[in-house]
Structure 1
């Protein structure tokens, strides 16, 4: 539960270069009795447990972008990312957040999230934008429940509480180690073990979000004050990323819990083997290679082409079968490519298409560099685990068995 240390968990991520409060096009949120609400996401560039943590991807999106989206889904139009990092700043601004560049003295391992929030509030004040209510979000909690966040904001704006925090119900028996290493019961009598249904639950703070009055926060310089209330959230949302194992767990959960979105892109790029094929090959006596492809995929490519959406096949293979299939589909192909990332960058620049507006469909680890630079990294259902973890979308169909057609339909459904 750390990143911005001393009193709290790590903060959210991403920001854009610029002066203390680089403007985005949104107006401050208002709620309840005309309260001015702002979401603040602290996001340092440094992290020891998970390097560049706030930019690591879950569900194909950087953690900081997930936090920005959660705030927007909760109806908070003014979203501020506090950062010392140029890349986080750029990513955050692209996602629609306003960036506050924090000084070095507030960016080290011992800097508290409270100090970053106070600095961001000062920057907003200097810009003539006073704030009544703060929603403090942490990007290292990738499953921020927007409905619970919106309800917490409403409670503070309605003067039902001064400070509200996310927590989940738990019936766990807690223990601590004493100085002599013996175990001591914390929240129960070890000699009396009532059934779950016979005892009241406790609530465990998740670190996902805190909502509080700005003026009282300035006075107390802490997030808990006055009438403190709990915003109950589902237990599965409580994962907080402080190490690589937790990151992998979050990536696996994203494939289960993230709501499917229309894939809104201007171009589609695909690998060949394991995407257009089922990743098997038949070798004849003369060394010729045959592969299995799907007519359904072929129809999907034809539909995409008629819709005017560019498609490129990008393959490391140097094999006549790749060119033959591309010619059959009437789509361009770059094959024999060792550096897919660079080839994709050059192709996108030549077509005048931003990388953020491209879907890349892959299946194996050599696709990862290209997947990491596009807005929509997509994996076939039977892709390598690392590829599925890096994907924003994991398709339901496997390579060579309709995966390309499924992607085409998701792209055109927008």
Structure 2
């Protein structure tokens, strides 16, 4: 094959079950960006396209490295199919002279698409071993239907219950991805045609986000699922909260009412290593406290304290420094950090953070605030500059 393999991710703006679900963060990453991250990490995929009718989704997709194909409204209503969106994207690419041989159709509603099965599916289609491959989980479940209050066995004999090891598995389509030849898809106008094969994916990663409960379940699962991706923290700047990040979130008070906090010398070395690598560091704090200012002065970094609106302060600082928000790591631990965590590309929290902050994070560090958390962050940021990341942003 001489044409490209293109990943196409349909993501319309008019979601009914969970409004704006394509840009609500799961583990610090918008669902519309997650399949693209997997596609870029997979072998054999040349281009990532997001098809959307929505300006905000388009902006998020582009900030996470995808190309955008603007879909007309009549292909983004409730009657339009995913096949319609994929065919439209292919027409758009053809009009730009892009020759496509293989299509990987990925769903933004599936946040945890594993890299290896997708790579294998692409290889099978490109080699001619299959015309269409879809993701499925192995199942040994007994299925039943109900009619007028009576249950009926489906696909098995209710009077014979063989052991799991004595049964052949069935496969349940997950909806996460479909890979197929472009020519065959255009002819069939459907994702299944010709010789069809299965790409097995882990059942525990086969969640789809179609309801609010599934969104919350995905957020709970994200830290475990994303640990498999081994994300390094590939950024251009680091911004940290102070209390609970540089400190253990406790303070001593003397007889004069003066507060004293404990910081880590290891964290100080981490900040020094970042500065020596040319990575700007900012300490951003809600409270106005001379301890914060003195610590920032000692570390030789920028400081903004007494900031009632930390998100606005962060955005203004990033704009002044000409650093894109998606290239910033922000480290926090509490609800007053939510605005900043949601604004940046790399939201990070320390262990023991408030549950809402933890739910917004892309990375949970292993070291606690005041006990080497900033040093751990620095080491991971610096490691990303010497070792290729699994998914390029």
User: Is TM (by shorter chain) over 0.5?
Assistant: yes
**Does residue 301 of the first structure (1) align with residue 271 of the second (2)?**
yes
1:391 aligned to which of 361, 366, 375: 361
C-alpha deviation, 1:196, in angstroms: 0.4
1:256 aligned to which of 224, 227, 243: 224
- Structure 2 CA distance, aligned partners of 1:390 and 1:398? 17
Gaps of at least 5 residues in structure 2 are 386-393
When structure 1 is superposed on structure 2, of 381-390 and 272-281 the one drifting more is 381-390
- Structure 2 CA distance, aligned partners of 1:159 and 1:100? 28
- Structure 2 CA distance, aligned partners of 1:90 and 1:98? 10
- Structure 2 CA distance, aligned partners of 1:93 and 1:326? 34
Aligned length: 381
- Structure 1 CA distance, aligned partners of 2:314 and 2:116? 38
- Structure 1 CA distance, aligned partners of 2:98 and 2:329? 38
**Does residue 45 of the first structure (1) align with residue 37 of the second (2)?**
no
Which residue does the alignment assign to 1:348?
A: 318
Kept after mapping to 2: 8 A contact 1:35/1:157: no
Which residue does the alignment assign to 1:166?
A: 135
Gaps of at least 5 residues in structure 1 are 1-32
Pairing 1:13-412 to 2, within 5 Å after superposition: 33-74=1-42, 75-178=44-147, 180-258=148-226, 259-412=229-382
Bigger RCO of structures 1 and 2 (CA < 8 A, at least 6 apart)? 2
C-alpha deviation, 1:221, in angstroms: 2.2
Which residue does the alignment assign to 1:30?
A: none
Give a deviation string over 1:199-232, Cα, whole Å, max 9, x none. Answer: 1111011101111222332233221222221111
**The residue matched to 2:89 in structure 1 has which SS?**
helix
Q: TM-score, normalised by structure 1?
A: 0.87
Q: TM-score, normalised by structure 2?
A: 0.91
**RMSD of the TM alignment (CA)?**
1.8
- Structure 1 CA distance, aligned partners of 2:166 and 2:234? 51
Change (3 A) 1:302 1:152: closer
Give a deviation string over 1:75-122, Cα, whole Å, max 9, x none. Answer: 211222110011222222333322211111111123210111111122
Kept after mapping to 2: 8 A contact 1:359/1:377: yes
Which residue does the alignment assign to 1:28?
A: none
C-alpha deviation, 1:35, in angstroms: 4.8
**The residue matched to 1:58 in structure 2 has which SS?**
coil
Kept after mapping to 2: 8 A contact 1:381/1:394: yes
